[in-house]
Chain A
Amino acid sequence: MQKEKDIIDGCLSGSRRDQELLYRRYAPKLYAVCLQYAGNTEEARDVLQEGFIKIFDNLSRYNHEGSFEGWMRRIIVNTSLERYRNRYYLSRVDDIEDVPEPEAEPNTSDFAGLEAYDLLNMIMELPPKYRMVFNLYAIEGYSHREIGEMIGISEGTSKSNLSRARLILQKKVVLLTGVTRKMVNV
């Protein structure tokens, strides 16, 4: 298999073949990210296309430090965020509605039977504002302050959205797996 650096160098020298090779290698993983953020296949397809155009446009700026896949993923996430910001108007919510949280959570082993596609579908079915915050916080690891800056909401709103996203997801998990014994207030 051709080395990642060789493919990048090939792309930079204008080799369409290497560009296609890079796309074929990483597109499936990045498309899954697009689906997580976009919520539907049509938009995910657009994000992937737009994201790869940006990846190729900015490839010369990649300095081979850190994960290349991580670098591409950030571009895809940022592209998703741009589209989200352009599409959805988020009203600032200062008064955070108190969201009940589970007193106990199911153990991760209870979800062992869940397929990745099930999880993806659950995220895709979330309302956009919950989906964005959950992805950025739980999957990407951003803080609420960072998320607030990214999508133009307050930290409190970010926390609120995250809580609601978690509740919705837990409900869906319960429905799918029948794990209810440890779920409280769901």
Chain B
Amino acid sequence: MFNREPNIDVVFRNGLKDLEVLPPSDVWENIPPMPSRRSAFKTVTSIAAGIAALVSLALVAGWYLRSNETGTRMAEMTIPSGEQQAVRVSSSPTDAMEESAVHSAPPDDAMTVVRDLNEGIATGPPVVADDQQPLLAGMTGAGRESEESLPFSSDEITVITAGRLTGAGNTAMPELAEVSSRAAGQRFLVGASLSPSVGISPQGQDARLAELMSSESSRPSYTTGVTVGYRISDRLTIHSGIGLASVGQTINEVDVFAGLSDYYAVKSNYLYSVETASGMIRAGNTDLYLTDAGNRVGSLVQGADPSKYNLTQVGSEIRQVFRYLELPLLVRYKVIDGRMGLNLSGGVAYGLLVDNAAYTGQGSDLIRVGHTEGVNPYNISSQLGLGMEYSISTNISFNFEPVLRYYMTPLSDISGALYKPYSLGIYSGFFFKF
């Protein structure tokens, strides 16, 4: 054997050191996209953050409800006895209107009303405590239930209605009873919504991306759909439904000509590709000849110069359109409950890509060019909204709610124009409650 390194080894090692051979073009196409390592972590943390936000929202809502209830109780319990008024109320609106009565009472006497503040109104005859009789002796079953839920023994109950409910004229009481009673019956809602939005993209640092994005522009985005909801409590509603979200962008300065198939026999699935900041458009429509002044358009055409053919220009831009089927899950909390209410909402939405297309043309006369590679087949977003709800009638309301949405998974694998972690939109729609 050789004691020293033979020259033949050196010849081959040096000769092959910098050898490069262009691999077949289809190798890359058969290499699947690499899953995002960091975004997987980000996704997990974002989902965790979303869940935490929802839980926080629910806790805040719960705390608000409890504190509101307690505050009212405390207010009621500290009204001077001289201003105390006994009220007889009923769960029935009619009864409430007919039977609601205000009795003047001796200053020293405490009037007792059995009233469930949470549920609005509970039934029960007026009970006067001055005789120190068992307070609930004559109450109906419903009244008993309400009483039993209070943290007092029957002997200790000296619950006084708040002034705002039993003030001069006491007209609010029947109204409240009526609204509460009706609201208590409206557990469900259905509605239709439309949410136009604009995406907020981070500024790309890559020079090529910046170059590509300089001749790309966002298209109007919107989400439309049907919403169903269930009212968990007076203020808290859970919403879901199904919607269609459309996002996209326009690639400018790409000239598209039709009629290439008359001149050029096509063997591949596509002839032209268009590099965009959001992925590579593969022009599956092989009748089209694409060209641009820059280096965005790539071509597989060999041995021919389509620019010399007699082709018809059909467009000077390409529109990328992506549509997602969205399944939202939202919690909506009424911060201000009234005819003109204020809502705080939060939740998540799962989007499934149902359409990925690139078009060219003018106006509504569009020609399909192909599709974009590298677009995620799904996305998960979280959203937070604060807006008004106007009750047109007792059954119908209109929502107008600015919404900030955060995409926990980007629309595109590529950090381009479609990579919009945030979007700002207006959620608007009509709801029918029943």
Shortest C-beta distance, A74 to chain B (Å), equals 16
Given that A31-B21, A45-B24, A49-B31 are known contacts, is A123 also in contact with B12, CB under 8 Å in the complex? Answer: yes
CB of A4 closer than 8 Å to a CB of B: no
Tell me whether B8 and A173 are in contact (CB under 8 A): yes
Determine whether the beta carbon of B34 is less than 8 Å from that of A56: yes
Whether B38 lies near A139 (C-beta < 8 A) is no
Interface of B is mostly: loop
Nearest residue in A to B279 (C-beta to C-beta)? Answer: A16
Q: Is B85 an interface residue (CB 8 A)?
A: no
Count residues on chain B whose CB falls below 8 Å from chain A CBs. 44
A-B contact count (CB 8 A): 138
Are B15 and A114 in contact, with the CB atoms below 8 A?
yes
CA distance A28 to B25 in the complex (A): 11
| Given A139-B13, A170-B8, also A32-B19 (CB < 8 A) | yes
Q: Is the CB of A16 within 8 A of B413?
A: yes
CB contact between B31 and one of A53, A105, A108, A137 (< 8 Å): that residue: A53
Contact with A along B1-24 (1 / 0, CB 8 A): 110001111111111101111111
Main secondary structure of the interface of A (DSSP, over half): helix
**Cβ contact within 8 Å between A23 and B28:** yes
Chain B residue at minimal CB-CB distance from A42: B24
CB <8 Å contact, A120 and B414: no
Write out the residue numbers on chain B whose beta carbons fall within 8 Å of the beta carbon of A107: 7
- Would you call B35 and A14 a contact (CB within 8 A)? yes
The answer to whether A148 has its CB under 8 Å from any CB of chain B is no
| Neighbour of B34 across the interface among A27, A57, A123, CB < 8 A | A57
B278-307 Cβ-contact flags toward A at 8 Å (1 or 0): 011000000000000000000000000000
Q: In the bound complex, how far is the Cα of B8 from the Cα of A119, in angstroms? A: 11
Evaluate contact between A19 and B34: CB separation under 8 angstroms.
yes
Interchain CA distance A170-B13 in the complex, whole Å:
14
**B373 contacts A by Cβ under 8 Å:** yes
Check if A119 sits within 8 Å of B23, measured CB to CB: no
Judge whether B1 and A159 touch: CB under 8 Å: yes
Could you list which residues of chain B lie within 8 angstroms of chain A, going by C-beta atoms? 1-2, 6-16, 18-24, 27-28, 30-39, 206, 208-209, 279-280, 373-374, 410, 413-416
Residues of A within 8 A of B (CB): 2, 6, 10-17, 19-20, 23-24, 27-29, 31-32, 35-36, 41, 45, 48-49, 52-53, 56-57, 59-60, 101, 105-108, 111, 114, 116-117, 119-120, 122-123, 134, 137-139, 159, 163, 166, 169-170, 173
